[in-house]
Amino acid sequence: METAAHVNRDVPDSARTGASAAEAPAPAGGPAQGRRVPWRRWAEIALLAGPGVVVFVTFVIVPVLMAGYYGFFEWSGYGVPTEFVGLRNYELIFTDGAFLEAMWHNGFILVMSLILQGPVAIGIALLLNRRMRGRSLIRVLIFVPYVISEVIVAIGFSLMLHPTGAVNDVLDRIGLGGLALDWLADPDVAIWTLMLILVWKYIGFAVILMLAGLQGIPDELREAAAIDGASYWQTQWHITLPLLGPTIRIWAFLSIIGSLQVFDLVYVIWGQYVADTAGTSTMATYMVANGRISGEYGYGSAVAVVIFLISLVIALVYQRYVLRRDTEGALTEGVA
């Protein structure tokens, strides 16, 4: 961020003046209005934030608390839970090999998503940031998978990748029958199949984020570097990448959270039972299989709490150690 701040000082262009112009009225108008009609401000806050807060509390906070409560019960889901079992559900979760496997799969997806998607997305974004023919068409094509519903993607891939499906058939016909695999059911292959589908599906989102980040990097910097004799790659390495830092960090954060929550694709492609034996189960599919499908809503709630806590801890740690410099920068500027 230091670089960025430094850059801002050195570039007294429209961006900077624009920002200060937007900030200017706030100190003057805000408090003055607040003194005269404080209720008005409150009414404004209530009107604008109220609906959001109500929905958030009703559909996020309350269910989270309820799941925490149900997690202490053995409960089939009918009537009011009565059989208090203390921490037994939690003990079971962490001694169940199937959950630990599912957790491992989530970890694998998390790491591989960062490794596979990050560099590729940055590369594509750099490419698409240059003027060339058909640029918007390529942008659209790359973004399309992200827009398609997960269920449609999943059904499409499960039909194509079925052992008797299109992929193996095509391989067979072009003489590469030896490469035909049991893409979905073979435990050695299935997790990679899932990984590839995930990359295909989500790379578009990463690319769009990176492109937006690239747009925020002033051309003057590149021009200056070019004048100083920097090569294309030197420019990217020393100027573009550092300035893209905040975008990359935010993308990684979203990718990590997404990886912890993978559900739909696995659930639709592998169904309620086969994900386990194919080695593609995730914490969320484990929760549904062992909570809703087996009618153990108490246990399922406990699993939900565990997933929530894992996500929360990872998010907080990430925020504390990785994102802080970005947000701090923003705050400092805001206060100043």
Residue closer to another protein, measured from CB, 53 or 293: 293
Helical ranges in the chain per DSSP H: 2-10, 14-23, 25-36, 38-56, 62-70, 88-95, 97-128, 135-147, 150-161, 166-173, 190-215, 219-227, 232-235, 241-260, 264-270, 274-278, 283-287, 297-318, 324-335
Among positions 33, 234, 277, 327, the unique one binding another protein when judged by CB under 8 A = 277
Q: Which residues contact 308 (CB under 8 A, 6 or more apart)?
A: 64, 67
Residue closer to another protein, measured from CB, 260 or 269: 269
Tell me how far, at minimum, the Cβ of 164 lies from another protein, in Å: 5
Decide: is 38 part of the binding site for another protein (CB under 8 A).
Answer: no
Decide: is 76 part of the binding site for another protein (CB under 8 A).
Answer: yes
Stretch that binds another protein, among 30-38, 170-178, 232-240, 263-271 (CB under 8 A): 263-271
Go through 23-51 and write b for each residue having 16 or more CB atoms within 10 A of its CB, e for each that does not: eeeeeeeeeeeeeeeeeeeeeeeeeeeee
Q: Pattern 82-111, binding to another protein, x per CB under 8 A?
A: ----------x-------------------
Residue closer to another protein, measured from CB, 101 or 129: 101
Q: CA torsion 265→268→269→272, rounded to 10°?
A: 120
Q: How far apart are CA 297 and CA 63, in angstroms?
A: 13
Decide: is 182 part of the binding site for another protein (CB under 8 A).
Answer: yes
Residue closer to another protein, measured from CB, 239 or 283: 283
> What angle is formed at CA 234 by the lines to CA 1 and CA 128, rounded to 5 degrees?
80
Decide: is 267 part of the binding site for another protein (CB under 8 A).
Answer: no
Decide: is 58 part of the binding site for another protein (CB under 8 A).
Answer: no
Residue closer to another protein, measured from CB, 189 or 224: 189
Q: Which of 126, 129, 145, 249 is nearest to 205 (CA)?
A: 145
Longest dimension (CA), the chain: 81
Among positions 59, 69, 94, 273, the unique one binding another protein when judged by CB under 8 A = 273
Decide: is 136 part of the binding site for another protein (CB under 8 A).
Answer: no
Tell me how far, at minimum, the Cβ of 92 lies from another protein, in Å: 7
Among positions 52, 164, 227, 335, the unique one binding another protein when judged by CB under 8 A = 164
Among positions 12, 79, 97, 134, the unique one binding another protein when judged by CB under 8 A = 79
For residues 154 and 184, the answer to whether their CB atoms sit within 8 Å is: no
Binding site for another protein (CB under 8 A): 76-80, 92, 158-159, 161-165, 182, 184-185, 269-274, 276-278, 289-290, 293-296
